[in-house]
C-alpha cells in the first residue's frame, strides 16, 4: 500500500509540473 500511495503522489506532482510547463509555453 505504501508503494501505491507513492505512485499516486508522483502522478499528482507530474500533472502539476506538466501544467506549469504548459503555462510557460503559452506565455512564451
| Grid cell in block for residue 3 | 508503494
The values of phi and psi at residue 9, to 5°, are -65, -45
pLDDT for 9: 73
pLDDT for 20: 92
State the Cα angle at 20 between 17 and 21, rounded to 5°: 85
pLDDT for 25: 84
Q: pLDDT per residue over 1-28, tens digit each?
A: 566 666 777 888 889 999 999 898 887 6
Global pTM value: 0.50
For residues 28 and 17, give the distance between their C-alpha atoms in angstroms, rounded to a whole number: 17
| Grid cell in block for residue 14 | 507530474
Q: Which helix (H) or strand (E) holds 20?
A: helix 2-27
pLDDT for 4: 67
pLDDT for 15: 92
For residues 4 and 24, give the distance between their C-alpha atoms in angstroms, rounded to a whole number: 31
Amino acid at each position: 500500500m505504501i508503494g501505491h500511495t507513492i505512485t499516486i503522489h508522483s502522478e499528482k506532482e507530474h500533472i502539476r509540473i506538466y501544467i506549469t510547463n504548459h503555462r510557460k509555453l503559452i506565455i512564451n
